[in-house]
């Protein structure tokens, strides 16, 4: 471990200690002091737009190809960018000859470390409130190479074909240095404890090793998951231009405000001088934050004095945009004769770089999942010279549940107990790690209703069901994802005299259905029809710092709109004055209804927005506010759950695995829009099927180079891999979350890996602990 | 060279290296056709040429001289959506919307193939009669169109509903 690593770890440990003390105080405070201490009134609103299966409001644009994505904004005089990537993992550029490239037709710029403008490094994601960078390395500032695939030159030309051709004419030689590119070698060099969002990925409760040794029943195994790439179908792209010292970026982003601020730091300008918009994003899953390509495009645009479009090739996405890292996880469970957990150990190692901060936190599900007398959880970091790894859909949970939920299945088999029964015997009555009360936890209900619908009771012993050469089996696993609400939310409501409202917030739509569901919510909150509400998002000049990540947008937007509405109502009551039926009422007494404000328990005391504004001679009323800090997350243990049921058919001759049925039964609070939420659940499950059966970023451990940087060789589920997926939900509101809803974007991928692996075991009697479950592992 | 795009004659002077996809997106201001891999692996760039589905990233524009190309922008009739486009909305057959134009063009070409009796890997009856579009047939025939958001169930539902009457 270097001095820099020690310093970073020490600083983080101090922050963690402060945070721990704060957490204790927040846990002890009365409920009423907390955000969500008084349930959102919308939870009790039963006959509005919320809960209706409204079709996407951006649907007509998307099905007709009229939704503009980042690489589809034409700018006058625009040049196209192409990139050249390093072919060694570590060392220096020894020589670089760009003369032929410069002479190639249409070329206006070849940018390398020799002529790139001076730029600061990107603020690393999670190191500051608005930091968005995937790494904190110098970008074309020197001759150093940090990973195999690092961009070493950028060519601008009049057309993409010209830029691509000119890039092929650049000749580079390298002076290689010894790099750590094998996971085994990295572990041999020593590991350091992982820190995730300033919290050590380490917890102890009692002596788990001793309890394991004494346990009547035990399992103890190591599970492995490979690297993954998000691979959204839209390639990472940006169209950028400088207007004087102002930078305009049309980006594909799940973090517009973060990106604007971070780019400002890189170029040493004010945050207000960078304007990032991203109205449509062709999938993100954690990958569409700030990576070097936006910085390089802006730098090239500055040098060339013309707008630039950069669209990474699919290979470029794999070379330049990090994915989920590799994990090696030990899960050991000791249980008493009744199956009650006496010891739960979940520990292991992940690979990370020294220039990012994402130690894939696979222990998160174990922290809150099960009551165990003792517990020991650890994530250790081994440093590798590779592309910075990053957040990918349910970071931690997606792969952590594979190991944990497989191990529980193994214990159930060893004890001869039904795996659902074993899980329910270990349901905790409070958070096992923090002791905080659960805000809402209905795991048992999710299992009960899911098992009934799936027909779980007809399950046979391992290897007992056959259809010709196909072995049939079923498996189950728990899905889990926390409720997050990050600080920084803010929203603006503009109410006009015709009674229509515009909600402005720098949030994102990547296909989650945000704009549709939030229009439904705002319409109900304000008492308007959906067509009277315009939801504007995807623009860094709008209020709020709202990451589309951690499944937190629903809560972050919800809380921000609640805060803005409070300010709006206060202003409206003031404007309404003493001549209104609302005279004398306080903000708490009224709510939006029928295009105006009404007293909550006496709706006859009502005045329309149009009437209030007209009497006050106002064209508009504007209210902007930020919600309180998200202390509810610390005061209560807030988690979503799901019961995932899978049926597989495994070919006894070829080892081929086909998923024939899948059912997800979820407990995620109130569902705002059953149509878009069902798609979120199914989409997560489909990505989970990829994780279970085919996805792997193949990493050459000799050279540190990704070997399958294409959609032909990085396999994702296709139509034929996906059966009809049934989804259902408890729809029980979380009393402490805005709208009673917890986010639904990530939970779908969790638990799927284990549900499939457990079904494969039930079909074949073979336990695969190493993802993906390819046919060679079953022969 | 001359070709017809969405029913309109178009005359372009084009670099022979330019793919049909880039001709549409970068020269003709028709970005509805999407680029997801530029190597024939994802299907996002699917368009119809004389009614047949092709991957526009794998064809050079000059190969299509004199042909009639239909893109997602050309599917609406009289200003209203094609019934398959509407079915995609009704069944939530997309999330981010990026693979959607390719899925829709591909499905229209695919339904025509089934009508002509072209068998797929899962077709039992190889006698050349129109092939009924079961869920299984649709999934097999649409497997070249990737959707990373995982909207496959909705896509299949939209396609089978739309073409149930045509292909039986």
**A99/B contact by beta carbon, under 8 A:** no
Q: What is the CATH number of domain A34-66+485-629?
A: 3.30.365.10
- A467 - beta bridge partners? A470
**Which residue among B71, B140, B148 sits closest to A65, beta carbon to beta carbon?**
B71
Inter-residue contact A354 to A5 (CB < 8 Å): yes
Q: With a cut of 90, say whether residue A257 has pLDDT above it.
A: yes
Instruction: Tell me if B36 sits within 8 A of B146, measured CB to CB.
Output: yes
Query: Is A650 within 8 Å of A657 (Cβ atoms)?
Result: yes
Residues 6+ apart with CB under 8 A from A478: A365, A369, A401, A405, A423, A443, A641, A642, A643, A644, A751
**H-type alpha helices, A31-158:** 59-63, 99-103
DSSP string, A723-763: --EEEEE-----TTSGGGB---SSGGGTTHHHHHHHHHHHH
Closest among A224, A222, A203, A225 to A369, alpha carbons compared = A203
* Domain A396-484+634-778 in the same topology as domain A34-66+485-629: yes
Provide the pLDDT for residue A44: 87
- Of the candidates B128, B150, B102, the one whose C-alpha atom is nearest the C-alpha of residue A719 is B150
User: Across-strand partners of A642?
Assistant: A479, A666
Ordered by where they begin, the domains of chain B are 2-73 (3.10.20.30), 83-163 (1.10.150.120)
Q: What is the mean pLDDT of residues A715-721?
A: 98
CB nearest to B154's CB, from A64, A165, A679: A679
A-chain residues within 8 Å CB-CB of B44?
A: 233
Tell me the pLDDT tens digit for each residue of A457-468. Answer: 999 999 999 999
pLDDT digits (tens, 9 = 90+) for B81-107: 999 999 999 999 999 999 999 999 999
User: Taking residues A335-359, what's their average pLDDT?
Assistant: 97
Q: Which residues of B touch A233 (CB under 8 A)?
A: 34, 36, 42, 44, 96, 98-99, 146-148
Mean pLDDT computed over B54-67: 98
pLDDT digits (tens, 9 = 90+) for A350-378: 999 999 999 999 999 999 999 999 999 99
Nearest Cβ partner of A63 from B89, B140, B149?
Answer: B89
| B164–A contact, CB cutoff 8 A | no
pLDDT of residue A152: 98
Domain ranges of chain A: 3-32, 34-66+485-629, 396-484+634-778
> What number is the ipTM of this complex?
0.98
Report cis status (omega within 30 of 0) of the bond before A435.
Answer: no
Whether the CB-CB separation of A691 and A772 falls below 8 Å is answered with yes
Task: Kindly report, residue by residue over A545-591, the tens digit of the pLDDT.
Answer: 999 999 999 999 999 999 999 999 999 999 999 999 999 999 999 99
CB contact under 8 A, B32 and A66: yes
Spell out the residues 6+ positions from residue A91 whose beta carbon is closer than 8 angstroms to its own.
A144, A145, A174, A175, A176, A177, A179
Is residue B80 less than 8 Å (CB to CB) from chain A?
A: no
Per-residue pLDDT tens digits for A311-330: 999 999 999 999 999 999 99
Contact yes or no for A194/A201 (Cβ under 8 A):
yes
Cβ B96–A717 below 8 Å, yes or no?
A: no
Measured between CA atoms, the residue of chain B closest to residue A725 is B153
CA-nearest residue of chain A to B144?
A718
pLDDT of residue A126: 86
| Inter-chain residue contact A675 with B38, CB threshold 8 Å | no
Mark whether A571 is an active-site residue: no
B102-151 pLDDT per residue, tens:
999 999 999 999 999 999 999 998 988 999 999 999 999 999 999 999 99
> For chain A, how many residues are written?
779
pLDDT for residue A45: 84
Whether the Cβ atoms of residue A711 and residue A313 lie closer than 8 Å to each other: no
**Can you tell me which residue has the tokens 């590799």?**
A326
A605 sits in the region (left: phi over 0; alpha: psi -120 to 50; else beta) called beta
CA atoms of B131 and B159, how far apart (whole Å): 14
Q: Which residue of chain B is at minimal alpha-carbon distance from A726?
A: B153
Q: Give B134→chain A minimum CA distance, Å.
A: 12
List Cβ neighbours of A443 (8 Å cut-off, separation of 6 or more).
A423, A424, A427, A478, A641, A643, A667
Chain B residue numbers with beta carbons less than 8 Å from the beta carbon of A678 are: 92
Structure tokens at A478: 């728990």
Which one of A69, A160, A722 has the shortest CB-CB distance to B98? A69
Mean pLDDT on A277-302:
98
Whether A663 contacts A68, CB under 8 Å:
no
Best residue in B71, B95, B120 for a mutation probing chain A (most A CBs within 10 Å): B95
Rounded to the nearest integer, the mean pLDDT of chain A is 96
Fold of A396-484+634-778: Aldehyde Oxidoreductase; domain 4 (3.30.365)
């Amino acid at each position: 471990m270097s001095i820099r690593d020690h310093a970073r770890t020490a600083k983080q440990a101090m922050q963690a200690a402060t945070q721990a003390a704060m957490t204790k105080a927040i846990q002890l405070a009365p409920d009423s002091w907390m955000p969500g201490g008084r349930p959102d009134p919308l939870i009790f609103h039963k006959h509005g737009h919320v809960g209706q299966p409204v079709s996407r409001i951006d649907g007509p644009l998307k099905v007709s190809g009229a939704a503009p994505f980042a690489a589809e904004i034409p700018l006058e005089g625009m040049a196209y960018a192409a990139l050249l990537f390093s072919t060694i993992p570590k060392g220096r550029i020894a020589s670089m000859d760009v003369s032929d490239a410069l002479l190639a037709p249409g070329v206006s710029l070849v940018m390398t470390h020799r002529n790139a403008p001076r730029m600061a490094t990107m603020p690393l994601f999670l190191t500051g409130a608005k930091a968005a960078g995937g790494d904190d390395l110098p970008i074309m500032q020197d001759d150093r190479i940090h990973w195999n695939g690092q961009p070493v030159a950028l060519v601008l030309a009049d057309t993409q074909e010209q830029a691509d051709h000119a890039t092929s004419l650049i000749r580079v030689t390298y002076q290689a240095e010894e790099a750590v590119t094998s996971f085994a070698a990295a572990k041999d060099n020593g590991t350091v404890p992982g820190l995730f969002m300033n919290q050590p990925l380490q917890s102890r409760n009692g002596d788990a090793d001793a309890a394991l040794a004494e346990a009547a029943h035990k399992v103890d195994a190591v599970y492995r998951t490979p690297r993954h790439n998000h691979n959204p179908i839209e390639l990472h792209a940006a169209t950028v231009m400088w207007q004087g010292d102002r930078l305009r970026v049309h980006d594909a982003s799940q973090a517009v405000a973060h990106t604007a601020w971070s780019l400002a730091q890189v170029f040493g300008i004010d945050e207000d001088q960078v304007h990032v918009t991203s109205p449509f994003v062709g999938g993100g899953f954690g990958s569409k934050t700030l990576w070097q390509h936006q910085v390089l495009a802006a730098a090239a645009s500055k040098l060339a004095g013309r707008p630039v479009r950069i669209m990474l090739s699919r290979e470029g996405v794999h070379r330049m945009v990090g994915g989920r890292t590799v994990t090696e996880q030990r899960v050991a469970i000791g249980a008493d004769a009744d199956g009650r957990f006496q010891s739960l150990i979940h520990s292991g190692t992940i690979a990370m770089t020294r220039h990012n901060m994402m130690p894939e936190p696979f222990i998160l599900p174990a922290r809150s999942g099960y009551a165990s007398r003792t517990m020991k959880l650890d994530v250790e970091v081994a440093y590798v010279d590779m592309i910075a790894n990053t957040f990918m859909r349910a970071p931690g949970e997606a792969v952590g549940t594979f190991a944990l939920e497989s191990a529980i299945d193994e214990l159930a088999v060893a004890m001869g107990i039904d795996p659902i029964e074993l899980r329910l015997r270990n349901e905790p009555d409070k958070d096992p790690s923090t002791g905080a009360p659960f805000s809402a936890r209905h795991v048992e209900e999710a299992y009960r209703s899911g098992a009934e619908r799936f027909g779980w009771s007809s399950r046979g012993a391992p290897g007992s069901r056959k259809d010709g050469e196909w072995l049939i089996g079923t498996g189950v696993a728990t899905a889990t994802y926390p409720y997050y609400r990050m600080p920084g939310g803010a929203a603006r409501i503009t109410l006009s005299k015709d009674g229509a409202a515009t909600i402005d917030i720098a949030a994102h739509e990547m296909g989650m259905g945000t704009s549709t569901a939030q229009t439904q919510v705002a319409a109900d909150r304000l008492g308007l029809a959906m067509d009277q509400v315009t939801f504007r998002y995807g623009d860094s000049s709008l209020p709020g710092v709202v990451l589309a990540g951690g499944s937190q947008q629903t809560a972050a937007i919800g809380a921000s709109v609640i805060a803005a509405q409070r300010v709006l109502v206060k202003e409206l009551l003031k404007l309404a004055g003493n001549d209104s039926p609302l005279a004398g009422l306080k903000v708490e007494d009224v709510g939006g209804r029928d295009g105006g404000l009404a007293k909550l328990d006496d709706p006859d005391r009502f005045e329309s927005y149009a009437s209030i504004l007209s009497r006050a001679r106002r064209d508009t009323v504007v209210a902007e506010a930020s919600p309180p800090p998200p202390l509810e997350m610390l005061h209560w243990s807030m988690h979503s759950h799901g019961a995932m049921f899978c049926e597989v058919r495994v070919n006894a001759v070829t080892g081929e695995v086909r998923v024939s049925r899948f059912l997800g039964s979820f407990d995620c609070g109130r569902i705002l829009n059953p149509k878009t939420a069902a798609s979120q659940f199914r989409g997560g499950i489909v990505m989970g099927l990829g994780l279970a059966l085919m996805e792997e970023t193949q990493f050459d451990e000799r050279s540190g180079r990704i070997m399958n940087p294409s959609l032909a060789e990085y396999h994702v589920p296709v139509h034929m891999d996906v059966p009809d997926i049934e989804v259902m939900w408890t729809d029980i509101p979380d009393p402490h979350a805005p709208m009673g809803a917890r986010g639904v974007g990530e939970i779908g991928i969790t638990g799927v890996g284990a549900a499939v692996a457990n079904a494969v075991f039930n079909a074949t009697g073979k336990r695969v602990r190493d993802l993906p479950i390819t046919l060679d592992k079953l022969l | 060279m001359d070709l017809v795009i969405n029913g309109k004659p178009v005359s372009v002077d084009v670099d022979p290296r330019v793919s049909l996809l880039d001709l549409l997106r970068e020269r003709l201001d028709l970005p509805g056709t999407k680029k997801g891999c530029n190597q024939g692996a994802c299907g996002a760039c699917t368009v119809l040429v004389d009614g047949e589905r092709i991957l526009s990233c794998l064809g050079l524009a000059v190969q299509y001289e004199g042909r009639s190309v239909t893109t997602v922008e050309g599917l609406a009739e009289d200003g209203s959506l094609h019934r398959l486009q509407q079915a995609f909305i009704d069944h939530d057959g997309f999330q981010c919307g990026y693979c959607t134009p390719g899925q829709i063009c591909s499905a229209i070409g695919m339904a025509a193939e089934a009508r002509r009796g072209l068998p797929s890997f899962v077709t039992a009856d190889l006698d050349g009669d129109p092939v009924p579009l079961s869920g299984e047939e649709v999934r097999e025939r649409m497997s070249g169109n990737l959707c990373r958001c995982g909207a496959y169930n909705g896509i299949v539902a939209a396609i089978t509903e739309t073409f149930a009457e045509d292909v039986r």
